[in-house]
Structure 1
Amino acid sequence: MTDMLSENETAAHVDLFSKFDPLIEMRRNLLSTGQEDPFGLVMERVVSPTVAVCNGRETILLGTYNYMGMTFDPDVIAAGKQALDDFGSGTTGSRVLNGTYAGHKAVEQALCDFYGMDHAMVFSTGYQANLGIISTIAGKGDYIVLDIDSHASIWDGCKMGDAEVVPFKHNDIEAMEKRLRRIPEGAGKLVILEGVYSMLGDIAPLKEMIAVAKKYGAMVLVDEAHSMGFIGPNGRGVAEDQDCLDDVDFVIGTFSKSVGTVGGFCVSNHPKFEIMRLVCRPYVFTASLPPSVVATATTSIRKLMHAGDKRAHLWENSKTLHKGLKDAGFQIGTDEPQSAIIAVIMPDLEKGAAMWEALLHEGLYVNLARPPATPANMTLLRCSLCAEHSAEQVQQIIGMFTRAGKAVGILG
């Protein structure tokens, strides 16, 4: 024991943070010129779904994922206040113990009604929904075939479940089929796709991809986080819009975007789905959502069933902003508007950060997205439109982008 201690005492000290040194240096360089931290903005007051006070100034919000503008809906807020009065601030327990209140069953029923499916399971976040469902249904000896641009929560769910992970080139149907063809006969197979990919705002050819997956006997999970509430005749997402929702085994979604609160969910028609409540670790071993949160979510989801006018207005906003920025000379992530996300491609991180700051000084907040989170090492200014943005605000935004682009030298 003495020898072991002396050996340990003389061993070189390893700083576990050293792996982050390149990122620390990049951030230091970015802020050394007096640049405001694009990942540390504080909103001092939120006025509405589209306006907040940042640095003492009223700022148009164009980077919040509040697609349907439900965060200030009077009915949603009233439901949350009532639940606080009736049930208190939290459950202090897991769903399988004391953490299931009437509100948790009500929000799951609202999801079943919204999607027209038999089963719904609510998680504390959208991240946990992917982590829990994927890691539980695909384990050692199974195969997961997924798009290379999949969200971090999807990748983490794959890793946690210990299945064999087989990625394919983004939105490439032929590449996906090649991967499926090579999987051994009789192995469990799960194909994971997203309706809208959050970085560029592009959609997947779900109908064709799901047909290929079914041809090889794979189950299909589709993450509709960025399309739920907005895309499709009833707001059920890209799978509904492409008329293939009935062929999807699991739909994953979140409350933190169109629903306007926090939480995650999975809906399914699989007859054995309810067993997930006992075997899914990120569901079993975490506290359930507070009563006020599930009450706001239930009210919001039920209102989104009848939000056709809002969906139409959001599409108009998306088309107008996409065309306006393209006409101004910016490089956009998609040729045509495909969702509520408009990604503006920057030459590099330094120019992107300067543009982000120039827009903030104009009174506009957008997301600065950087590698490795972005595809192909791109730096993006990601714009997330809201159904509550007025036509006048969208025109203001185009003007702000144009002035900022000229000021930092991105536009000629």
Structure 2
Amino acid sequence: MTKQRVAVLGSTGSIGVNTLDVLARHPERFEVFALTAASRVDEMLAQCARFKPAYAVMADEAAGRLLASRIKAEGISTRVLSGETALCEVAAHEATDVVMAAIVGAAGLAPCLAAARAGKRLLLANKEAIVVGGALFMDAVREGGALLLPIDSEHSAIFQCLPEDRSTWSQRIDHILLTSSGGPFRERDPATFSAVTPEQAVAHPNFAMGRKISVDSATMMNKALEVIEAKWLFDLAPEQVRVLIHPQQIVHSMVVCRDNSVLAQLGTPDMRVPIAYGLSFPERIESGAAALDFTKLTGLSFQSPDHLRYPGLALAWETLRGPAGSTAVLNAANEIAVAAFLDRRIRFDQIHAVNFSVLESISPRLSAAAPPAALEDLLALDERSRAVAEQCVQRLSLQAA
């Protein structure tokens, strides 16, 4: 068997670390070709020492220089590159077979597009790439002949419930149900949300995730982004994507078919399962996840999300029905708002206020403009949205002072 050469974009994050764990279990099938990170030099050095990739890329140039000197001192043969151009180069490299796209935020869009246009097996854990990229991203996948495989546990679950022949999906699906844990504040009184601390918000009940994603889980903005992602991945109308709170996170999502039968994918909450499936599709390989023991399940519960508790969730459908580019605006605003909350510049309950305000400010201009037609258009829209969001954060900070 010829080994598949894998580029892991965002290798020091939780998805990247889990991907390397799965790859290490199957050295006969995979080899690590490239690793990328933002600025975590110590973690990247340790990964290079263990996996000995041909390339290591640091998005931060200063971190790249430091890593290069330490790689040289350790006598590791890995070549170190820096910057966004290098990220795109390893994603599209002729020697790369598989790309795990696990860079958090809009920063992952350009390398995802590069991998798509180069026709790679693209494992998409970076939901923001498709939320921001939308039709442009899906066109790149189709035109490049890439194989796009979802890694978010919910979208992987939907994918696993559907036949390999994608042309039959629209004939089978009535709607899909994305499940959510509800985050750490599922039972907390919303009237107390103004007192939520960053430490409380990042304490996800089931998964160990990065700080930004954990806050998104607490607000359920992660589910809003997943609704947008699902629309594009499965070519659905906005109303065909629905959300359920499922605290146990055993049922990872469901497909409701035209005949009202329901297909579901179940398992322990472990990201190595969708990662292993994406790496081996259409086969299945050992993931390292614990088996689901049905005799120990005390019950599975489901409920509709409370939109007073999670006001940002409704923005998913609003932006999907809005002018082209609206979902990119929402993503940019949310990244700024979450960062401001983690820096204690705004309150937890003001994250939604920032997102809503930015959409209200920019949407009229989107309605009057031509849809984004290139990466440069999306990046300009992203930059403009971040600037407006930062202004909103500053106003809220001054009001609180």
TM-score by length of 1: 0.34
Q: In terms of Rg, which structure is larger?
A: 1
Higher relative contact order (CA 8 A, sep 6+): 1
